[in-house]
Amino acid sequence: MTPTSTAMGTTTSPLTYEAAIKRLDDLTHQMENGDIPIDDLAAHLKEAQQLIVFCRSKLTQAEEEVTKLLGSDTDNAVQQ
């Protein structure tokens, strides 16, 4: 799964972190409840793994941006 696709096909807008988490939560519940046919389980597990990679990437990007912004604030405060 890429940021612009879903299990149902390609979307016109990029996948958001919130949408990925919701889909991952849905998949988790379906797997825990045995709602996924065994023939589809591998595909759903692969989708879940791709969603996890996507979410981790988004979190890392956000953390780097926050660190950069906080570093800029610190640099500005030191210069004043």
Check residue 47 and give its pLDDT: 96
Which own/partner pairs from 37-44 qualify as long-range (CB within 8 Å, at least 24 positions apart)? 43/7, 44/7
Phi, psi of 10 (to 5 degrees): -80, 140
- Percentage of the residues of the chain whose pLDDT score is greater than 90: 70
- pTM higher than 0.75 for the full model? no
Mean pLDDT of 65-73: 89
Quick check: 50 pLDDT over 90? yes
CATH class of segment(s) 5-75: mainly alpha
